[in-house]
């Protein structure tokens, strides 16, 4: 019997195949119909423009919500990256930094492992014990109040209570407790937090890691000051509860423009919409601050305030020709024992203080403008009785005493040198008349000394001098800077004008603004007045200021230095106490304002120290040390000695970075050296009188040792260690008490003495 080679398909199989085919066709038609329906009939709903949708980005959207509303258009804000702040050489002063909020989802953990926890409540006890120990080890310096048991109770307690809780919140203003990426990496890499499961896939073994814990690390961008307290108040802050400094005054430049991204919330699902506006990052600002000068000013002012146990102090350095602020420090006592000071207020611009005898320069200018020949008159010092005519025509007698010595009369130059209150008032009374107070103030105003000062940090208010036309004591006190307030930077500005040949410059804090690619805005030096007084008055005033330091009777003569010649004026003022409605006799506000080098001024500096039982010499001392530091950093002293002194060969030098080596040799008058070496440092081994040197190349390991920074201020210690190539972590405030080097990580921890 023959069989067919082809098998016939049974009718039942054919029916089933036909049914499947028809079902697939119908399903395809249904899908196509649904797509067409959604794309045509429901297009408005999908795009969020349907009447059934409420756009929450529009005002008054709450009134449109009904009981049938189930579609909402919402918006996420896309935050731009805030611009950074740099010094005059492009070194970052304020930067963006990522920190983390640390939270634990006890509710999620309990839900995921509920079966295991029901059978054995302490199933994960060992893991959380280890985690608590590691948290304590990592964070004990920042959170000394928390021990290992605290962390253990935090984790286990939130699991029991099914609660999501934050362990370390982000406090933008307190960088001492920031949690960084180093911390999160340390925690994430704990091996006991993970378990491995094995699975088979296509014949291959796959190792899959699963997480035991529910730790969450939420990132936040904060602002960081890499150089700590230096100029921190001027650089500023821009947060919802605090706004000041450049961060605030230039917020429109730094902040950028927020973007937005809309999405559709439909039946608890979030569907992205096409409406998206990308954020525009903020621009960077480049300040006039010079880091080397700022470092010298900050450290010297901090040392001096700590030495004197002063309440607060400030110091400002202005470049004479341009008005650029190269350094500014505003320090306030932060510890009862004056062990450290912090930037806390903008004293330079906003402090309400009486200027004291530094204001005598203003009175001197007014005097010289009225007195062509200032060498003829002689004026009383120590004490004097003034006859003052009243409005009714009577004459009243006022006896004023500087010192209990017999009164003598001296020339105007000696009055200024000795800083005599009696003498300065006598000079003004003679020039403007005993009832000439309005004319005296008019002259001060003509010289621009009583104007509002507009700066990039905001307006600086002028001195508020009350009308003393009929009040002898007001007229008398104004002559030497008492009875009214003058912002500290205002004094600096007109002193700088004298150093600058009479041209008054506005203080400049920001040079230019950049984006990622180019400069977008420049700020040029601004001339407030071409000359605040006649050329002869400015020339004479310079001579008077020089004699305060170099004259026989000058109040700053103790600080003469041939290698750092400067000129200026001292100031000492009693402090007014509102509680007793009188001046305190036990503490003073002392100051010195001047410029250097004396022959060709490049910088004008003011030092103001508040709340000390001393006179102005302590301010002169701080000024002189700041000036010497700046001149040394700018190589003034070396070039002066090289030009004036006989040539003497130098001996073996300390190692110098290769790129600076020939610059140093040229500055000292030596021939430059040609060298071919990859070594990063060079050293002079020997030199001869023919200005030839023998140089030696050095690898870092040949000479570098970890500096001993114990006893130093934190800023000094960090600078030295970074210069030596170490990574530094600072714990506490004040001076360095101890230092610990971790050889494995290379980090040096500095423990400061509170």
Look at residues 603, 637, 671 and tell me which one is the last residue of a structural domain.
Answer: 637
Query: Which pLDDT score, from 0 to 100, does residue 637 have?
Result: 46
Average pLDDT score over the chain: 84
Would you say residue 14 lies in a domain? no
Residue 640 pLDDT level (bands cut at 50, 70, 90): very low
- Burial of 151 from C-beta contacts in 10 A (0-12 / 13-18 / 19+): buried
In this predicted model, what pLDDT tens digit does every residue of 308-322 receive, in sequence order? 999 999 999 999 999
Helices 421-432 and 360-370, packing angle to 10 deg: 30
CATH number of the CATH domain containing 614: 3.40.710.10
DSSP-derived secondary structure for 169-221: ---TT-GGG---HHHHHHHHT-GGGEEEEEEEETTEEEEEEEE---EEEEEEE
Query: 633 and 651 share a domain?
Result: no
Query: 598 and 719 share a domain?
Result: no
Whether the Cβ atoms of residue 301 and residue 524 lie closer than 8 Å to each other:
no
CA angle 494, 592, 629 (to 5 degrees): 105
Would you say residue 187 lies in a domain? yes
DSSP-derived secondary structure for 408-464: EEEEHHHHHHHT-HHHHHHHHHHHH-TT-HHHHHHHHHHTTTTS-EEETTEEEPPP-
Number of domains within the chain: 5
What are the residues whose beta carbons fall under 8 Å from the beta carbon of 414, sequence distance 6 or more? 381, 551, 553
d(C-alpha 443, C-alpha 437), whole Å: 10
Would you say residue 8 lies in a domain? no
Query: 503 and 632 share a domain?
Result: yes
Query: 416 and 491 share a domain?
Result: yes
Query: 625 and 746 share a domain?
Result: no
Would you say residue 313 lies in a domain? yes
Whether the Cβ atoms of residue 240 and residue 228 lie closer than 8 Å to each other:
no
Task: Say how many residues make up the chain.
Answer: 754
Would you say residue 170 lies in a domain? yes
Query: 543 and 576 share a domain?
Result: yes
Query: Which pLDDT score, from 0 to 100, does residue 312 have?
Result: 95
Q: Which of 235-239, 323-327, 407-411, 642-646 has the weakest average pLDDT?
A: 642-646
Identify the helix (H) or strand (E) that includes residue 629: helix 617-633
**R_g of the chain, CA atoms, integer Å:** 37
Helices 291-308 and 714-723, packing angle to 10 deg: 140
Query: 142 and 272 share a domain?
Result: no
| Token pair belonging to 104 | 């634990």
In this predicted model, what pLDDT tens digit does every residue of 38-87 receive, in sequence order? 555 555 555 656 666 777 777 877 777 776 666 777 777 788 889 999 99
pLDDT at 6 over 70: no
What are the distances in angstroms from CA 555 to CA 441, 466, 603, 619? 27, 29, 21, 12
Q: Which of 333-337, 358-362, 556-560 has the weakest average pLDDT?
A: 333-337
For the chain, give me the number of helices (H) and strands (E)? Answer: 23, 35
Helices 535-550 and 488-499, packing angle to 10 deg: 110
Domain enclosing residue 186, as ranges: 85-224
CA angle 300, 566, 574 (to 5 degrees): 65
| Token pair belonging to 689 | 């009188």
Would you say residue 32 lies in a domain? no
User: Which residue do the tokens 């947060």 mark?
Assistant: 239
pLDDT at 440 over 50: yes
Whether the Cβ atoms of residue 115 and residue 121 lie closer than 8 Å to each other:
no
Whether the Cβ atoms of residue 31 and residue 39 lie closer than 8 Å to each other:
no
- Of 254-268, 458-472, 675-689, where does the model show the most confidence? 458-472
In this predicted model, what pLDDT tens digit does every residue of 584-638 receive, in sequence order? 888 999 999 999 999 999 999 999 999 999 899 999 999 999 999 998 876 554 4
Strand, coil or helix: what is 650? coil
Query: 531 and 655 share a domain?
Result: no
Query: 432 and 300 share a domain?
Result: yes
What are the distances in angstroms from CA 712 to CA 101, 339, 389, 716, 717? 33, 11, 60, 6, 6
Q: List, as own/partner pairs, every contact residues 518-527 make where C-beta atoms lie below 8 angstroms and the sequence separation is at least 24, other chains included.
A: 520/283, 521/253, 521/283, 523/456, 525/321, 525/322, 525/323, 525/324, 526/323, 527/503
In this predicted model, what pLDDT tens digit does every residue of 243-273 receive, in sequence order? 999 999 999 999 988 887 877 776 666 777 7
Q: Which of 71-80, 497-506, 527-536 has the weakest average pLDDT?
A: 71-80
Identify the helix (H) or strand (E) that includes residue 659: helix 658-667
User: Which residue do the tokens 């006896």 mark?
Assistant: 399
In 3D space, the residue among 363, 466, 348 whose CA is nearest the CA of residue 424 turns out to be 363
Query: Which pLDDT score, from 0 to 100, does residue 60 have?
Result: 75
pLDDT at 456 over 50: yes
Query: Which pLDDT score, from 0 to 100, does residue 688 have?
Result: 65
d(C-alpha 116, C-alpha 212), whole Å: 12
pLDDT at 725 over 80: no
How many CB atoms are closer than 10 A to CB 468?
Answer: 19
d(C-alpha 466, C-alpha 474), whole Å: 8
- State pTM to two decimals: 0.73
d(C-alpha 617, C-alpha 572), whole Å: 9
Q: CA 158, 160, 162, 166: dihedral to nearest 10 degrees? A: 0
- Of 173-187, 244-258, 652-666, where does the model show the most confidence? 244-258
Q: What is the mean pLDDT of residues 419-442?
A: 94
Q: What is the mean pLDDT of residues 365-386?
A: 94
Query: Which pLDDT score, from 0 to 100, does residue 639 have?
Result: 41
Query: 433 and 502 share a domain?
Result: yes
Query: 538 and 605 share a domain?
Result: yes
Residue 198 pLDDT level (bands cut at 50, 70, 90): low
Query: Which pLDDT score, from 0 to 100, does residue 644 have?
Result: 46
Sign of the CA dihedral 25, 30, 36, 38?
Answer: negative
In 3D space, the residue among 561, 559, 562, 574 whose CA is nearest the CA of residue 619 turns out to be 559
DSSP letter assigned to residue 508 = B
Residue 200 pLDDT level (bands cut at 50, 70, 90): low
Would you say residue 24 lies in a domain? no
Residue 582 pLDDT level (bands cut at 50, 70, 90): confident
Whether the Cβ atoms of residue 426 and residue 398 lie closer than 8 Å to each other:
no
Q: Which residues pair with 269 in a beta bridge?
A: 266
Query: Which pLDDT score, from 0 to 100, does residue 643 have?
Result: 42
Strand order of the β-sheet with 727-731 is 727-731, 747-753, 735-741
In the chain, % of residues over pLDDT 90: 47
470 vs 615: which has the higher pLDDT:
615
564 vs 13: which has the higher pLDDT:
564
| Token pair belonging to 246 | 């450049």
Whether the Cβ atoms of residue 151 and residue 131 lie closer than 8 Å to each other:
yes
Residue 240 pLDDT level (bands cut at 50, 70, 90): confident
Sign of the CA dihedral 686, 687, 692, 697?
Answer: positive
pLDDT at 282 over 80: yes
Would you say residue 42 lies in a domain? no
Residue 703 pLDDT level (bands cut at 50, 70, 90): very low
Q: Which residues pair with 510 in a beta bridge?
A: 287
Query: 722 and 698 share a domain?
Result: no
């Amino acid at each position: 019997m023959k069989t067919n080679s082809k098998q016939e398909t049974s009718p039942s199989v054919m029916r089933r195949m036909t049914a499947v085919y028809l079902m697939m066709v119908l399903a395809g038609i249904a899908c196509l119909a649904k797509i067409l329906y959604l794309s045509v009939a429901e297009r408005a709903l999908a795009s969020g423009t349907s009447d059934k949708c409420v756009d929450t980005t529009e005002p008054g959207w709450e009134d449109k919500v009904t009981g049938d509303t189930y579609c909402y258009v919402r918006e996420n804000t896309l935050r731009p990256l805030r611009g950074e702040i740099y010094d005059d050489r492009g070194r970052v002063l304020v930067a963006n930094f990522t920190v983390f909020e640390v939270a634990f989802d006890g509710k999620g953990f309990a839900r995921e492992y509920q079966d295991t926890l029901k059978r054995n409540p302490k199933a994960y006890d060992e893991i959380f014990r280890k985690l608590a120990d590691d948290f304590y080890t990592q964070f004990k310096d920042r959170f000394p109040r928390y021990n290992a048991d605290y962390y253990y109770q935090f984790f286990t307690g939130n699991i029991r209570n099914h609660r999501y809780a934050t362990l370390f919140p982000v406090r933008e203003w307190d960088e001492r407790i920031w949690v960084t990426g180093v911390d999160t990496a340390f925690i994430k890499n704990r091996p006991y937090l993970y378990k491995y499961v094995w699975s088979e896939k296509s014949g291959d073994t796959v190792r899959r890691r699963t997480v035991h814990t529910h730790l969450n690390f939420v990132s936040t961008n904060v602002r960081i000051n890499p150089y700590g307290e230096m100029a921190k108040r001027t650089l500023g802050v821009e947060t919802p509860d605090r706004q000041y400094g450049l961060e605030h005054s230039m917020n429109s430049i730094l902040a950028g423009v927020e973007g937005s991204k809309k999405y559709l919330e439909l039946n608890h699902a979030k569907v992205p919409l096409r409406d998206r506006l990308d954020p525009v990052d903020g621009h960077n600002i480049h300040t006039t601050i010079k880091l080397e000068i700022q470092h010298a000013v900050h450290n010297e002012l901090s040392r001096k305030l700590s030495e004197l146990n002063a309440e607060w102090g400030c110091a400002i350095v202005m470049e004479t020709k341009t008005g650029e602020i190269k350094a500014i420090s505003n320090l306030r006592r932060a510890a009862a024992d004056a062990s450290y000071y912090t930037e806390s207020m903008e004293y330079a611009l906003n402090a309400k203080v009486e200027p004291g005898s530094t204001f005598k320069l203003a009175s001197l200018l007014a005097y010289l403008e009225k007195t062509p020949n200032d060498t003829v008159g002689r004026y009383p010092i120590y004490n004097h009785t003034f006859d003052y005519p009243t409005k009714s025509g009577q004459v009243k007698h006022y006896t004023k005493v500087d010192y209990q010595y017999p009164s003598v009369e001296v020339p105007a130059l000696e009055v200024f040198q000795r800083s005599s209150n009696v003498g300065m008032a006598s000079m003004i009374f003679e020039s403007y008349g005993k009832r000439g107070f309005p004319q005296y103030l008019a002259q001060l105003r003509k010289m621009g000394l009583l104007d509002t000062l507009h700066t990039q940090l905001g307006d600086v208010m002028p001195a508020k001098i009350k009308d003393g036309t009929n009040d002898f004591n007001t007229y008398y006190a104004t002559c030497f800077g008492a009875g009214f307030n003058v912002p500290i930077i205002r004094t600096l500005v007109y002193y700088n004008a004298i150093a600058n040949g009479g041209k008054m410059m506005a203080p400049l804090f920001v040079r230019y603004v950049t984006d990622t690619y180019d400069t977008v805005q420049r700020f040029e030096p601004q001339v407030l007045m071409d000359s605040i007084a006649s050329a002869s008055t400015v020339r004479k005033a310079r001579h008077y200021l020089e004699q305060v330091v170099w004259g026989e009777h000058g109040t700053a003569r103790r600080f003469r230095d041939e290698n750092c010649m400067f000129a200026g004026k001292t100031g000492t003022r009693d402090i007014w106490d509102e509680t007793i409605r009188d001046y305190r006799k036990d503490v003073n506000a002392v100051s010195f304002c001047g410029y250097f080098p004396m022959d060709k001024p490049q910088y004008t500096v003011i030092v103001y120290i508040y709340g000390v039982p001393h006179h102005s010499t302590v301010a002169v001392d701080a000024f002189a040390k700041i000036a010497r530091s700046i001149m040394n950093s700018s190589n003034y002293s070396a070039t002066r000695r090289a030009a004036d002194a006989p040539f003497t060969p130098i001996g073996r030098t300390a190692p110098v970075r290769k790129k600076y080596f020939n610059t140093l040799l040229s500055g000292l008058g030596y021939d430059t050296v040609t060298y071919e070496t990859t070594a990063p440092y060079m050293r002079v081994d020997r030199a001869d009188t023919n200005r030839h040197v023998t140089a030696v190349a050095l690898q870092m390991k040949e000479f570098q040792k970890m500096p001993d920074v114990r006893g130093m201020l934190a800023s000094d210690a960090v600078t030295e260690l970074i210069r030596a190539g170490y990574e530094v972590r600072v714990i506490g405030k004040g001076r360095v008490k101890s230092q610990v080097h971790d050889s494995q990580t290379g980090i040096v921890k500095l423990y400061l003495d509170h």
